[in-house]
Amino acid sequence: MPLLTDLSDIFGDAFAKAGVDASHGAVVTSQRPDLAQFQCNGALGAAKQAGRNPRELAEAVLEAISDREPFKELSIAGPGFINIDLTDKYLAAQVRSVQADDRHGVPAPEKKSVIVDYGGPNVAKELHVGHLRPAIIGESVKRIFRFAGHDVAGDVHLGDWGLPMGQLIAEMKHRDPDLVYFDPDHTGPYPQESPVDVAHLNEMYPVAAAAATEDPERKSEAQQATAELQAGRPGYRALWEHFRRVSIEAMREVYDTLGVHFELWNGEASVHDRIEPMVARLRANGVAVESDGALVIVVDDPDENREIPPLMLVNSRGAFTYGTSDLATVEERVVDAKADEVIYVVDARQGLHFEQIFRAARKSGIAPQSVILEHAPNGTVNGPGGTPLKTREGNLPLLRDLINDATAAAADRLAENDLASEYDEIERADIASKVGMAALKYGDLQNHRSSDYIFDLDRFSAFEGKTGPYLLYGAVRMKSILREAADRGLQLGTVLPPKVDQSRNLMLALLRFPDVFDRALRHRAPNHLAEYGYELVAEFSRFYEACHILRERDPARQASWLSMVELTLATLGTVLELLGIESPERM
């Protein structure tokens, strides 16, 4: 059982014995560690409800605690705050309990089926800085749910259907009309090799979009190509499959470098065949209604003070919308994938869109109330001026360029600190890559997902301060201590009660993991783990400076400290894994 849960149960029982609700017994980590390790503030709220004096109630609570063994000191501060310090013996016993648990004290929940929707790139376009946050936040959220014990799948949810595909097909036909894909009498087979690579697609995409915007004839051609593609014209489907395949290959390369891995590579096209029957059903049962020549689902609530626009399923030209595709995707996830929970890690600016989708899904019965639909919004990556990060040319920086810049910055920092200089070139490059990715990802994940942040690679790549490289250096130091201990034949042993504050504080930090993990899970917020990882490494550094592990003359104390090093490394390793950060073996 997590330490805070155990302590809260003890105080909850005591509050109940004192004649008030047990829920007031919640124990939290002290906001003033100089005064106490933990605190319980429930006496103030409970006393107000019961019409009692809060300090007298706090005294009654302390008198009602039957099991005093865990507590070194219990005291009342101010109007009724209860300060709590644990005995060193109890602390050590709790650490030994966590040491024997590969989940570090995190209880297993009732298993659910969860889909995390993140990524959201478009076929035929290179990944750029706008794809960074949803990718690494979504990957971390997915890993958090998986560690909790749920069945989880990450879905990239590609933008691979609709008018942009028709625009590309029309543009290719203008450039190379003799390609077999444009012969209406040819039905296959078609070439296995794509006529374009992702660089060609990336160049064509803005040209095709601009042509369709500026030239009515080109717009009509793109709309016709879209209609024929979606109707199943063989040549267009074959060409579209090439677009999709070469795009995914390029995406995988970048995502793999980032440590982002999707179990599902579905997209808008995946639900195309279920859209028409879904719309027909919603029209027939009256959920979808006509409005100004369009078919919509009214989703606002007359009892609310704000007006939410209806979700448009079919526009006035008779075409389906992105909203139609997203609603069909909800249906696919609920009916076919049998998801209990679907979390969308998508830009905060899409908030209204998801509110429309979720309300339509509820109103239509597509998603029952038992299925959780949640938008976990992410903010933007900004430049020094506080506006979205762009290149000098005014474009969004490509994600592969950011990765290369981070790796180069890491290599420079390694050289400045004389780290990894004696290793061969392959290992140095691998270390630089891991440090660069830690800099890039931790620089993002230390911020709450909904907030914007300033991209500062110089700060992110430093080995000092709250950075990814700082965490990796801490992990490498722990690995080095354990390797040297093994080389000297030293054994790990039973964790003993601490003798110094630095050892005691490290134990307290280790025991906080389940509570931190719970907050990260409940709030879908990896920043709690990022902050905890930094605090854990900082506590370990103080412990390392005060406790000379490899020079300790008391074998039992030395073995105890080595076990704490191992547990700290395991806990930090779990934190890094949950953040999607890989640690090198040495530097």
Which residue do the tokens 């309300």 mark?
359
Per-residue pLDDT of 82-138, as tens digits, reads: 999 999 999 999 999 999 999 999 998 899 999 999 999 999 999 999 999 999 999
Calculate mean pLDDT across residues 74-80.
Answer: 95
Q: 315, 308, 275: which is closest to 294 by C-alpha?
A: 315
Rounded Cα distance between 359 and 446, Å, is 32
How much of the chain exceeds pLDDT 70, in percent? 100
Other C-beta atoms lying within 10 Å of the C-beta of residue 365: 12
Helices (H), 259-288: 272-284
Q: How many residues does the chain have?
A: 587
Instruction: State the pTM of this model.
Output: 0.95
pLDDT at 318: 85
Cβ-contact 132, 399 below 8 angstroms: yes
Set out the domains of the chain in order of their start, with CATH numbers. Answer: 3-86 (3.30.1360.70), 163-258 (no CATH)
Split at pLDDT 50, 70, 90, the class of 390 is confident
Give me the phi and psi of 178, to 5 degrees please.
-85, 0
Cβ-contact 513, 539 below 8 angstroms: no
Other C-beta atoms lying within 10 Å of the C-beta of residue 550: 12
Per-residue pLDDT of 319-333, as tens digits, reads: 899 999 999 999 999
Question: Which letter does DSSP use for residue 393 in this model?
Answer: T
Tokens for 215, please give them.
Answer: 């030239």
The distance in angstroms from the start CA to the end CA of the chain is: 37
Tokens for 32, please give them.
Answer: 């003033």
Q: Which residues does 276 contact at the CB level (< 8 Å), separation at least 6?
A: none
CA distances from 170 to 167, 204, 223, 233 (A): 5, 11, 9, 14
What rounded mean pLDDT belongs to the chain?
95
Cβ-contact 402, 440 below 8 angstroms: yes
Q: 188, 186, 226: which is closest to 209 by C-alpha?
A: 226
Cβ-contact 287, 277 below 8 angstroms: no
Q: Which residues does 330 contact at the CB level (< 8 Å), separation at least 6?
A: 342, 357, 361, 366, 367, 373
Tokens for 561, please give them.
Answer: 């400290």
Rounded Cα distance between 164 and 226, Å, is 8
Split at pLDDT 50, 70, 90, the class of 67 is confident
Q: Which amino acid is at 457?
A: L
pLDDT at 525: 98
